[in-house]
Amino acid sequence: MITVIIPAHNEAVGIGDTLRSLAGQTLAPERVIVVADNCTDATEAISLAAGAEVIRTVDNTDKKAGALNLVLANLLLQGAPEDMILVQDADSQLSPDFIERSVSHLEADPELGAVGGVFSGAEGGGFVGHLQRNEYARYARDVRRLHGKCLVVTGTAALFRVGTLRHVEAARLDGTLPPGNGRGGVYDTSVLTEDNELSFALLTLNYRIMSPADCTLVTEVMPTWRQLWAQRLRWKRGAVENCMQYGWTQVTRPYWGRQALSVVGVLVTFAYVGTVAFALGTGAGLHIQPFWLAVTGVFVIERVVTVRLRGWKYMLAAATMYEMVIDLFLQVVHAKAYADAMFNKKKAW
């Protein structure tokens, strides 16, 4: 049996498209449950009209993770170990064969704990939306080149066996995994990035995770710089705190390595911008050096090649280095995330 769970907080704008993408699947799920989490718009009405079941949360203060735990508590009690649960964001639309292909991957490998998707960005959002679509195209290229190997099964869409989620739930109770806020459940409600933490949990329990190239979907992009800032700050700080939560282990070493490289990137960027500003401010002027010109050339080539999935027009545009805007933006986000984590600033979901 395949059950889809869609946590939704005021998602009236996109929930209809999401449910239509499920209705058109080549392998249809037996149940589609929309978890209306403190909704004040038409999310419930639209979901019911589309044929989905609706479960309304009552006094949930644990955001998405709490809403998911509420529904999973009953499903894991009732389901057979081989039954499957797809957790999908309300602003993501699956390709027509997503469920069929993800199920086939999960059934083919008993050590596979979760199957995620390779996502592209939806239309809209103007210039900032365009930059995110380029970013997602590069991510998709990386995952394809690694044959589906991924660091995180993202919350956009992920398929699990009931037996696997029961294992996670039990491991939180017996101390094998971090207990979160002590209330139990599959998802840790004490963290900012519940999908990243669940990926850590699965890997710690010796499962594998993957995002196969043939499991594709489209997900919403942030329409403004302010919203992108809030999203990426949460993602980055959550990833940092998940590393600290699990400590230094065989599982977390690659993640700590990525954080170390990220810190180096932030320092180099600030040093570069600072020296350029100093040179211009003091009137010393800028002098082109062959070595740095060569480094810049390599960087330009990387920008062009990695956006190939979007076509030659986007490759040509990437050569102008206009995407430095979002690169610098993200470096500032990373610096803020590290500072917030270091000084234990109050978390905002």
Supply the pLDDT for residue 349: 54
Q: Which domain holds residue 301?
A: 253-342
Q: Could you tell me the pLDDT band of residue 336, with boundaries at 50, 70 and 90?
A: very high
DSSP 88: E
Domain membership flag for residue 232: no
pTM of this structure: 0.93
Domains held by the chain: number: 2
Residues 90 and 169 in one domain: yes
Residues 89 and 35 in one domain: yes
**Residue 140 near residue 118 (C-beta atoms within 8 A):** yes
Domain membership flag for residue 233: no
* Average pLDDT value for residue range 117-137: 96
pLDDT in tens, 82-101: 999 999 999 999 999 999 99
> Is the confidence at residue 217, as pLDDT, over 90?
yes
Residues 261 and 217 in one domain: no
Residues 118 and 189 in one domain: yes
Domain membership flag for residue 348: no
Q: How far apart are CA 158 and CA 215, in angstroms?
A: 10
> Is the confidence at residue 298, as pLDDT, over 90?
no
Residues 179 and 282 in one domain: no
DSSP 51: T
Domain membership flag for residue 97: yes
Residues 200 and 333 in one domain: no
Domain membership flag for residue 242: no
Supply the pLDDT for residue 3: 98
Residues 263 and 216 in one domain: no
Residue partners of 155: CB distance under 8 A and separation at least 6:
64, 87, 89, 194, 195
Residues 219 and 264 in one domain: no
Helices (runs of H) and strands (runs of E) counted in the chain = 12, 10
